[in-house]
Structure 1
Amino acid sequence: MVQQLFHGFLRWPLVIRIFMIAITLMLSFGTVIHFIEPDTFPSLFDGIWWAIITTSTVGYGDFVPLTWEGRLLGIVLILVGAGFLSTYFVTLAAETVMTQNAYLEGKATFKGKEHVIIVGWNERTREVINQLTSLQSTCDIILVDETLQKNPYNNHHIHFVKGTPFKDSILKKANLNEASIAIITADQNKDEMTSDMNSVLTLLAIKGNHPGLYTVVEILQKDQVANAKRAGADEVIQTNMQTSYVMMNSIISQGMSKTILKLLNHLKGNNLKLIPVAEEYINENFHSLSGHLLKNNIILLGIKKGENTSVNPPLTTIVEASDELLVISN
């Protein structure tokens, strides 16, 4: 039993072990001095108080041993106890610095819940993080990247994990199983094929560890969209296709790109989103429902039925309970 307790004690963190040894020494020496000189140290607390003051080398002088036994005990306490206490404070300071560096360099494990995991560091990631922190200042964001040397943000809600995102050990550091959503961005420093392969591989690793996690993945090549969907992506963003659509709209209607960006900018109060159908609107047609929502300053753009989204559908389209409404609101 004693041996098991000793081995268990050795597995404790170093700073806790040193602290426990120092406390034990002070309690033991304080108890002994009380029995050696009961007149000078009338209570057990007085003895422990003297031991603490002596070990910390403060030396108030309110309690002083008078016998040679007591003074010898004080000498031993100073030589042994002060050394352990000094070691404790030095170790505590070193542990604090190491922990701070671990968080800064992306080596620490995140232990929170309901956080957002974003894979890859680029300008798109920077903009997503800025928007998220502006809309939800308390939202915890985990940035996973293997190229960054340290956390680019001085914000305790943004945690950095350095490493290859499709490795289980790195995903474990990001506390993947407790996350609410994962966003995988494409690495545009690589060629499109390699970038998409890495994105799909990361997606497979995430879904393999947490199949129920909602995932959004950015894909550059149209041919790789199917692979991303096979890997379990809940949403696939085709960056090149969306950019080409914006450019085409700018060719047809000059200035349209600014309008589209403003429409999608939640920080400007424009919220393009999908909302469930309220019970009172079930079985209404698109035209009637549009009028009801407009009274509440909500513009109805389309209806999502299953996987299919119809923008500006026929006015006679009936809205069902399982549908979602594509709207603009503020």
Structure 2
Amino acid sequence: MLHPFFSRFIRMPFFLRIFIIALVFIVGFGFLAYIFEPETFPNLFDGIWWAIMTVSTVGYGDFVPTTTLGKITGMVLVLSGAGFVSSYFVTLAAATVKRQNNLLEGKVMFKGTDHYIIVGWNERARAIIDKLLTDKKESSIILIDQSLETNPFVDYHVHFIKGRANTDEILIKANVYEAKKIMITADQNLDELHADMNTIITLLAIKGLNPNVICVVEILTEEQVANAKRAGADEVIQSNIISGSVMTNCLHSTGSVDALIFLLEQFDGTRFVFRSASSYDGKTFVETNQSLLDEGALLFGIKRGADTIVNPPHPFKIKGNDMLLVVDSPE
């Protein structure tokens, strides 16, 4: 009968075993005090209260043994039980510090839901997380990266996991099964082709575990865009094309392109939004734009299937399953 109990006891966490031993000492010696000195300790609770105060070296003095046997009981309790109690608190403090260090170093599994996962650490990832912390104040953000030593954010909404995001172990730690959206940034430590290959492998690993999660990926080379879409990317961001377009405009423009750069900066998820076109089915682009202008918004373009059409030629009719790319008015 005792062997299974001891087997389970030995497998318990160390601090839990120390706590159980200390608890047994406290209850046991409280019972002995109640038995040896019923006049001083009229009930068991008073005996346990005295044992706790004694073993913790607080000693209020409201209960004091008067008999020799009671005093010996108190002496044995202090000499034996105080060590276990002290060990318990020291172990508990050490476990708390270790847990905090593991959390900071990206070793702790995330157990929340409806969170955003950002893969890779660079200035783009920093900007994305900063924006999410501003716009999605109650949402949890998971940062996965193998180059960082500790979490670069002090905000408790950002949970860091150290490791390669193309392995099941790390993705499970990030609870990819219940993630809301995932953004995979290009690895800045690799050349463009290898960075794209790493991104696609990571995307395949994610979609293999959770085919339904929305994945936005950053692709650097044009020839890998098709492969990213085949791998299951819901959105592909070609950052090189965007930055190249701005630089080309700088070369060809006779004046400043600050306005263009400012326009691109507005693509931060707060001004440019997609709206359903179901209520504008059959209307022209101009008519739809006029209706939106009355609401203080501006129709920028149409997303039809995999194609995005900006300022289509007149006449262009809206279909009910289109998505409207709209510039909302500032709040």
User: In which range does the TM-score fall when normalised by the shorter chain?
Assistant: over 0.9
Match of 2:289 in 1: 290
Residue pair 1:264, 1:270 contacting (<8 A) in 2 also? no
Cα pair distance change 1:49/1:243, threshold 3 Å:
same
Match of 1:54 in 2: 54
Structure 1 letter corresponding to 2:292: L
Structure 2 letter corresponding to 1:96: T
Residue pair 1:302, 1:313 contacting (<8 A) in 2 also? yes
Within-5 A mapping of 1:15-94: 15-94=15-94
Q: Distance in 2 between matches of 1:315 and 1:187?
A: 42
- Residue 192, structure 1, aligned to residue 192, structure 2: yes
Q: Distance in 2 between matches of 1:268 and 1:207?
A: 25
Structure 1 letter corresponding to 2:89: F
Q: Distance in 1 between matches of 2:83 and 2:270?
A: 64
What TM-score results when the alignment is normalised by the length of structure 1? 0.93
- Residue 323, structure 1, aligned to residue 327, structure 2: no
Alignment root-mean-square deviation, CA: 2.1
Superposition deviation, residue 89 in structure 1? 0.7
Match of 1:308 in 2: 307
Superposition deviation, residue 16 in structure 1? 2.5
Residue pair 2:113, 2:178 contacting (<8 A) in 1 also? yes
Q: Distance in 2 between matches of 1:191 and 1:149?
A: 23
Q: Distance in 2 between matches of 1:138 and 1:287?
A: 38
Q: Distance in 1 between matches of 2:266 and 2:113?
A: 25
Structure 1 letter corresponding to 2:211: P
Residue pair 1:134, 1:267 contacting (<8 A) in 2 also? no
Q: Distance in 2 between matches of 1:2 and 1:260?
A: 77
Cα pair distance change 1:2/1:266, threshold 3 Å:
farther
Query: Greater shift after overlay, 299-308 or 255-264?
Result: 255-264
Cα pair distance change 1:75/1:200, threshold 3 Å:
same
Superposition deviation, residue 270 in structure 1? 6.1
Q: Distance in 1 between matches of 2:268 and 2:101?
A: 37
Residue pair 2:278, 2:322 contacting (<8 A) in 1 also? no
SS in 1 for 2:216: strand
Superposition deviation, residue 71 in structure 1? 2.1
Residue pair 2:303, 2:324 contacting (<8 A) in 1 also? yes
Match of 2:135 in 1: 135
Number of equivalent positions: 329
Residue pair 1:263, 1:270 contacting (<8 A) in 2 also? no
Q: 1:194-215 CA deviation, whole Å, 9 max, x = no partner?
A: 2111111111111111111111
Match of 2:216 in 1: 216
Q: Distance in 2 between matches of 1:159 and 1:147?
A: 15
Structure 1 letter corresponding to 2:72: L
Q: Distance in 1 between matches of 2:255 and 2:135?
A: 27
Q: Distance in 1 between matches of 2:223 and 2:271?
A: 31
Cα pair distance change 1:314/1:204, threshold 3 Å:
same
Gaps of 5+ in 1: none
Structure 2 letter corresponding to 1:81: G
Residue pair 2:222, 2:238 contacting (<8 A) in 1 also? yes
Q: 1:52-108 CA deviation, whole Å, 9 max, x = no partner?
A: 011101222221222232222222211221111100110111011111111111111
Residue pair 2:246, 2:261 contacting (<8 A) in 1 also? no
Q: 1:285-315 CA deviation, whole Å, 9 max, x = no partner?
A: 2121111110111111221111122211233
Gaps of 5+ in 2: none
SS in 2 for 1:181: strand
Within-5 A mapping of 1:248-287: 248-254=248-254, 257-266=257-266, 271-277=271-277, 279=279, 281-287=280-286
- Residue 204, structure 1, aligned to residue 204, structure 2: yes
Q: Distance in 2 between matches of 1:299 and 1:255?
A: 26
Structure 1 letter corresponding to 2:53: I
Q: Distance in 2 between matches of 1:258 and 1:296?
A: 28
Residue pair 2:278, 2:319 contacting (<8 A) in 1 also? no
Within-5 A mapping of 1:156-195: 156-195=156-195
Match of 1:247 in 2: 247
Structure 2 letter corresponding to 1:288: E
Superposition deviation, residue 257 in structure 1? 4.7
Q: Distance in 2 between matches of 1:267 and 1:79?
A: 69
Residue pair 1:301, 1:326 contacting (<8 A) in 2 also? yes
Residue pair 1:270, 1:328 contacting (<8 A) in 2 also? no
Q: 1:113-157 CA deviation, whole Å, 9 max, x = no partner?
A: 111111111111111112221222333211111111111111111
